[in-house]
Structure 1
Amino acid sequence: MPDYRRNRVPGGTYFFTVNLLERRSCLLVQHIDAFREAVRQVRARRPFHIDAWVVLPDHTHCIWTLPPGDTDYSARWKAIKIAFAKSLPKTERLSAVRVRKGERGIWQRRFWEHTIRDERDYAAHVNYVHINPFKHGLVRQVNAWPYSSFHRFVTAGIYPNDWAGEAPDLVTGERDA
């Protein structure tokens, strides 16, 4: 069995990528309200701050900051995945292994996590979260993607509404040359 080592910093800020099992699926945007409700339910029981988030058809990228002293992002992701899966009808194809383990065939079992190291790392990951719909060819302008915290950043004056590609430095507010 693989040895998955997770970095755990109490009250840390983390970047995540979480994928659906079927990478050609559109479940996350087709059922965006159910996904949002799953996140709301988990945050009500196990709070965390959402720094940035984008939901794409088949995966999501986000940055969370956990409460002081807390390192348990894995339990939060497990609860979000379960709540979302329970909200959907059982129509997915299941492997024999998933049937035997009583699992749904919606999410990949693992997720990718990166501990944010400093302000520059934070800025780079926030930009990565927000550029993703453009990067994947889902929109011609980042502001056209509705399932993103990008709009909150525009309202706060961090990004211009027409931002795409030329990332402002979130530390200094200056544009890259």
Structure 2
Amino acid sequence: MVLRLILTRHAKSSWDDLRQSDHDRPLNKRGRASAQAVGDWMRDQSFVPQTILCSTAARTRETLALLALDAPVEFDEGLYHCSADTMRAKLTQQTAQAVLMVGHNPSIAELAERLAHELPRHPRFLDYPTCATTVLEFDADSWQEVQYGTGKIKAFVVPRELSERT
């Protein structure tokens, strides 16, 4: 069986209100447009999840809403600024064949890098800018079988590339 994991960093957040807590920061205008573009790209490429794990932060929730994907969602406070190992542990609890995780750097970038068998030759992969998205596939029967270094990167995109295509 082939398992698919989609890793999306939240879109660009607003810093307009410096009194606002980090957890409560919303997206800015560019971030909202980026999330919509990435959602359109996911649907166009048939990279659609069967289930979604999302941090509880306002910017991840808003990113997810603007991706406009139709799948059950689990909002998990434990995904807010956690480690890559914590993200992977949460993934191993999943049963769906295609999972989307919406989270934060540095953990989401580290998870993508550690899961990949071979890194893409993309200049932005290692810094994983806002709303960057990686699609990985694994030849495994369950998420518990997935090990670091075994994922095949099927796609990596940053929102700026999507706006340059139109």
Q: Same fold (TM over 0.5)?
A: no
* Richer in strand (by share): 2
Bigger Rg, structure 1 or 2: 1
Question: What's the TM-score, normalizing by structure 1?
Answer: 0.28
Higher relative contact order (CA 8 A, sep 6+): 2
Question: What's the TM-score, normalizing by structure 2?
Answer: 0.29
